[in-house]
Amino acid sequence: MSTPRSFVDKIICPVRAKRERRKEARPGELLAAALDLFVEKGFAATRSEEVAVRAGVSKGTLFLYFPSKEELFKAVVMESLGGRFTEWNAEFEAFEGTSAEMLRYCMNVWWERVGMTKASGLTKLMMCEGANFPELAEFYRREVVRPGHDLLRRILQRGIDRGEFANVDIDHAIYSVVAPMVFLMLWKHSAMVCVDGVSPLDPEKYLATQAETVLYGLSVRAGDKA
């Protein structure tokens, strides 16, 4: 399908005539504007024209690059999340160290690259509007949720295979890792409704605590059967 030249392209050809550069940059600017607005107002409430205006182009141009609002959203998801799993998978494939360190590292980089960025708003958005846009929900599950779970599964399996983790039910363990991440994303993007003041939650600390809790649950203790 039509996901246009991604951020990767920018690295390939660094020098260009200004006009040409802008042209090449169009999709990226549109995706950035779309990400901003989708996160800020949701999918349904974001008007196509607003995206175009924020990207500095006209309404028509948006539809030149993305055949519909839904495809635009999918492209945003791929740019921000789905398209980065090959990179992330490779990074973790090459990881050397204990599986506990690997899991901690995973949660940390997740926070840096997703949790604390606008991209986390996309997950919140899908939780809010997924039911109204089944095709988007399915796409998100396929391109983000599944690869994410698979990555975690490989980390956990590595730990078990190496005898570092207890032989727990992996699906259940995945959820233990994912739950605090999801909670953080929701809290970050929706807290204003439920608390009057500012959220007194320190995400890094919260995440570190949850990581240790999970790791404790995964630890091989006396009496466990290998």
Partner DNA sequence: AATGAATGAGAGTTCATTCAT
Partner DNA sequence: CATGAATGAACTCTCATTCAT
List of residues contacting a second copy (CB under 8 A): 40-42, 44-45, 123-124, 126-132, 137, 140-141, 145-146, 149, 171-172, 175, 178-179, 182-183, 186-187, 189-190, 192-197, 199-201
CA–CA distance from 69 to each of 64, 72, 119, 189 (Å)? Answer: 12, 5, 18, 22
Name which of a second copy, DNA, none residue 167 binds, using a CB cut-off of 5 to 8 Å depending on partner kind.
none
Distance between CA 7 and CA 117 in Å, rounded? 16
Task: Name the residue nearer to DNA (CB basis): 35 or 184.
Answer: 35
Q: How many residues bind DNA (CB under 7 A)?
A: 23
Name which of DNA, a second copy, none residue 64 binds, using a CB cut-off of 5 to 8 Å depending on partner kind.
DNA
Mask for 68-107, x = binds DNA (CB under 7 A): xxx-------------------------------------
CB of 150 to a second copy, least distance (A): 11
Q: Which residue intervals of 42-67 are DSSP H helices?
A: 48-54, 59-65
The dihedrals phi and psi of 163, each to the nearest 5 degrees, come to 75, 15
The dihedrals phi and psi of 158, each to the nearest 5 degrees, come to -55, -45
CB of 132 to DNA, least distance (A): 10
Which residue has tokens 């992996």? 170
Name the token pair of 221.
């203790």
